């Protein structure tokens, strides 16, 4: 009888012990995940802070024009507000945005608009012609062959607009579609 009692107690003790080990394992795993997430959030916020400092004024860049020549920061017209419009020709919102800009180009003549896409030059040309933006003095279309624009300007969605004043200081990063009134409102808030 004593033997059966000891076996029963041993099974009970093992059962209690395994439940405690499982709870300890779950607690440790949860704590580890929380620490990992906090570490990643801190690292990501530091990366964003570094990028934001880098883009407070227009950073050095190099992309290709539709004529396949290099276009850099030095090619920008000085003392004009600059808007970088990140787009894709297969994006409906990008088409609405370009159409609105085309229809209101008279109100945007004193702003340089830099349309940039990772697509082929051929697709970018079709997009620019479709919206009658290809021959406007203040509009430039660029191709980002290296996919570096999104990293350089911390842009993660299409369409996105990066708005700089005439001193090339960052005013705003706008994610999503923007129209000419949104552009003007952003610039007016900073007395461009």
pLDDT value at residue 2: 47
In angstroms, the CA 79 to CA 90 distance is 33
pLDDT tops 80 at residue 188? no
How confident is the model over 112-137, as a mean pLDDT?
A: 93
pLDDT value at residue 190: 58
Higher pLDDT, 50 or 86: 86
N-terminal to C-terminal alpha carbon distance within the chain: 94
Burial of 3 (0-12, 13-18, 19+ CB in 10 A): exposed
Report the CATH number of the 62-189 domain: 3.40.30.10
In angstroms, the CA 129 to CA 125 distance is 6
Name the token pair of 38.
Answer: 């906090």
Burial 136-158 (b: 16+ CB within 10 A, else e): bebbbbbbbeeeebbebbbbeeb
Map residue 156 onto helix, strand or coil.
coil
pLDDT value at residue 35: 86
pLDDT tops 70 at residue 191? no
Verify cis geometry, omega within 30 degrees of 0, for the bond prior to 10.
no
**pTM reported for the whole predicted model:** 0.72
How confident is the model over 36-52, as a mean pLDDT?
A: 72
How confident is the model over 35-54, as a mean pLDDT?
A: 72
pLDDT tops 80 at residue 54? no
pLDDT value at residue 76: 93
Mean pLDDT of the chain: 83
Task: State the pairing for strand pair 62-65/139-143.
Answer: antiparallel
- Max distance between CA atoms of the chain, in angstroms, equals 100
Burial of 69 (0-12, 13-18, 19+ CB in 10 A): exposed
pLDDT value at residue 116: 96
The position carrying tokens 């050095």 is 60
Domain boundaries, the chain: 1-54, 62-189
pLDDT tops 50 at residue 44? yes
């Amino acid at each position: 009888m004593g033997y059966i009692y000891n076996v029963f107690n041993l099974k009970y003790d093992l059962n209690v012990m395994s439940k405690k080990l499982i709870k300890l394992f779950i607690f440790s795993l949860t704590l580890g995940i929380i620490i990992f997430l906090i570490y990643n959030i801190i690292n990501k916020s530091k990366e964003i802070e570094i990028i934001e400092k880098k883009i407070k004024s227009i950073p050095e860049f190099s992309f290709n024009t539709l004529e396949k020549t290099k276009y850099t920061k030095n090619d920008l017209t000085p003392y004009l507000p600059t808007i970088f419009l990140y787009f894709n020709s297969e994006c409906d919102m990008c088409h609405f945005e370009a159409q609105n800009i085309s229809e209101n180009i008279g109100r945007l003549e004193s702003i340089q608009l830099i349309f940039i896409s990772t697509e082929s030059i051929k697709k970018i040309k079709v997009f620019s012609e479709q919206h009658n933006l290809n021959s406007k003095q203040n509009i430039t279309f660029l191709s980002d062959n290296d996919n570096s624009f999104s990293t350089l300007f911390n842009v993660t969605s299409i369409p996105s607009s990066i708005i700089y004043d005439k001193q090339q200081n960052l005013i705003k990063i706008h994610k999503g579609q923007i129209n000419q009134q949104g552009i003007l409102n952003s610039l007016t808030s900073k007395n461009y």
